Amino acid sequence: MLAFEAPRASVSVVIPTLNEARNIPWVLRRIPSYVDEVVIVDGRSTDNTVGVARAIRENLVIVDEQRKGKGVALRSGFAAASGDIIVMLDADGSMDPQEIGWFVAPLQHDFDFVKGSRHVTGGGSEDLTRLRKAGNRALTGLANAVLHSNYSDLCY
């Protein structure tokens, strides 16, 4: 009797960038080998972010986004991505790309959505000002009330 093995889901990583030439090498070099596609959505960088990224990883999908905003960049990147699973990753290195597997694994086992948090064991942030912390707390509280959810960090 032959065992049936389900095919592995393909993984795309979408990275919005704006003047991240200094950070993008660290991020791209740490992306796991099982990631099938990396989509860079560049928002008019003036520091050669795209050139630096291409020097690190040749097989990038580059989306040149002229409109402003991270939300626009993410929607453009999601539209360009071809993977079964799409992971959004910031270009500033605030998340270690080698942690992608922690997010992908649940999605391959009946989860529809997985997100990170700076407020779990091992999490944190060095650049979270009091104002941003208060805003994140308020937005997370509102989302939890409306969605009947229990997020600890909506903005990460």
**Residue 39 in this model has a pLDDT that exceeds 70:** yes
pLDDT at 86 over 80: yes
40 and 26 fall within a common domain: yes
Q: Please check whether residues 18 and 75 belong to one and the same domain.
A: yes
Q: What is the pLDDT of residues 55-84, one digit of tens each?
A: 999 899 999 999 999 999 999 999 999 999
CA 71/CA 107 separation, integer angstroms:
22
123 Cβ partners below 8 Å, 6+ apart?
116, 117, 153
Find, among 15, 35, 141, 24, the residue nearest to 78 by Cα.
15
**Inside any domain, residue 5:** no
4 falls within a domain: no
> Which residue range forms the structural domain that includes residue 154?
119-156
pLDDT of residue 1: 47
Distance CA 19, CA 14 (A): 16
33 and 70 together in one domain: yes
Residue 154 has pLDDT above 90, yes or no: no
Judgement on whether residues 19 and 50 belong to the same structural domain of the protein: yes
Are 81 and 65 in a shared domain?
Answer: yes
Answer yes or no: do 16 and 68 share one domain: yes
Residues 17 and 91 in one domain: yes
- Same domain membership, residue 84 and residue 26: yes
- How far, in Å, CA of 137 to CA of 133, rounded? 6
Number of domains in the chain: 2
Do 99 and 140 lie in a common domain?
A: no
